Structure 1
Amino acid sequence: MGRVSQAQAQENRKQIVAAAARLFRERGVQAVSVADLMAEIGLTHGGFYRQFASKEALLTEATVQAFADLAASLAEFDLRHPGDHDSARDDLIDYYLSAEHRDDLGEGCPTTGLSADIANEATDGSAREAYADGVRLFARWLSRDGGEDLATLSMLVGALTLARATIGSDLSERILAAAHEALPDTTATPEAPARPGS
């Protein structure tokens, strides 16, 4: 079999990063082997090492990609409410604290989905830096005054983490509802808005 073209190699890399961004959130980095990842997109195990030095190197790119996906979703919430960021923010919170988002690990928020894996990375690692950049971006988007709304972000991430860990009990739904009720200046809707792009 001949060598792939440069364009095909770039496309393969893009597919690997996108699949990793989804699978790492869904299953956790340690639970996803290189073989699993490559099988997911129909490429050979050996092809991985032509693209990445290690799975750890891939984690950094997957983290950047996951937060780029989040930024695109946040922009879509703003597009739904031109000139009214507060309404976009309320819509996002309704979606974030919904059962739909709770159950969608692979496409869900990377702030929650990657936190445990990033916490195990070296403190000076590039994946941790990419994650911190993503957290800053999300906290700025949530802000009503141009700063960083770390309190709201922390409540959202904490509630989603606990709700996911208690799926199967009535506690899971109650956690989402309690967080929504505790957040200032938001009103819960009977049905959460659809995730952008769905």
Structure 2
Amino acid sequence: MGYSAADTAKKHQQILDESIRLFLERGFSGVSVSELMSAAGLTHGPFYNHFASKESLMSEALTREMERARGDLDKLPPTQRGKARYVDDYLSTKHITDCGGGCPVAALASEVRQEKHVQGAFTDNLKAFIHKFATRFPWRSRRSARGDAIHMFASMVGALILARAVNDNEFAQEILTETRKRLV
């Protein structure tokens, strides 16, 4: 018995949803194809009906998640207050603990560096995010917007990575607070 195109598309989305969650939590190398398929409620067998390889899944899942993150910027007003709210949400205790639902850049950038087949998709999506970030919110000037957006986002990503890495909650909060103070 065959599956309808709608069923196949639904399963594909399930695989992507569970894969990105697991990749964000454990990294690309920390999850096997069998685990990904099991998390999606499927057996290992049909994986290759959906993806040519684990690497193609990694690229597609990362692209989808980075597009979602870019779309989330539209939920904020294009004002200084909207930009401050984005910084506050990003540099929050909730974001430290929510690796599986958090920023794909902070969770996976160090692994992307070692995954040549994913770098193109990551680069294209990061450029698109920076462009949207730079054009969505007000900056010192239009000339400096891209550079200011890169600086702000890189600072936030770095702060989140460090806050997640330390085993001292007070110090983690200090990292977030000091970074936030200098960005908004």
TM-score, L = length of structure 2: 0.88
Whether the aligned pair in 2 keeps the contact of 1:28 and 1:114 (CA below 8 Å) is yes
In structure 2, distance between residues paired with 1:18 and 1:48:
14
Whether the aligned pair in 2 keeps the contact of 1:138 and 1:153 (CA below 8 Å) is no
Shift of 1:5: 1.8
Shift of 1:72: 2.3
> Which of structure 1's runs of 4+ aligned residues deviate more than 4 A?
none
Structure 2 unaligned blocks of 5 or more: none
Shift of 1:70: 0.2
Residue 165 of structure 1 corresponds to 165
In structure 2, distance between residues paired with 1:87 and 1:130:
31
In structure 1, distance between residues paired with 2:102 and 2:167:
15
Residue 42 of structure 2 corresponds to 43
Question: Is 1:20 the equivalent of 2:19?
Answer: yes
Aligned mate of 1:100, from 86, 89, 94: 94
Residue 182 of structure 2 corresponds to 182
Q: Deviations over 1:35-69 (max 9, x none)?
A: 11111121111111111111101011011111121
Aligned mate of 1:91, from 69, 85, 93: 85
Three-state SS of the structure 1 residue aligned to 2:46 is helix
Shift of 1:131: 1.0
* Aligned partner letter, 1:109: C
Question: Is 1:133 the equivalent of 2:119?
Answer: no
* Aligned partner letter, 2:109: S
TM-align CA RMSD = 1.5
Residue 196 of structure 1 corresponds to none
Residue 154 of structure 2 corresponds to 154
CA distance change for structure 1 residues 85 and 136 in 2, over 3 Å: closer, same or farther? farther
Shift of 1:168: 4.1
Percent identity between the two aligned chains: 33
In structure 1, distance between residues paired with 2:66 and 2:4:
29
Whether the aligned pair in 1 keeps the contact of 2:73 and 2:133 (CA below 8 Å) is no
Shift of 1:167: 4.2
* Aligned partner letter, 2:89: Y
Three-state SS of the structure 1 residue aligned to 2:101 is coil
Shift of 1:178: 1.2
Residue 71 of structure 1 corresponds to 70
Three-state SS of the structure 1 residue aligned to 2:99 is coil
Q: Deviations over 1:3-22 (max 9, x none)?
A: 22222111111111122122
In structure 2, distance between residues paired with 1:153 and 1:99:
17
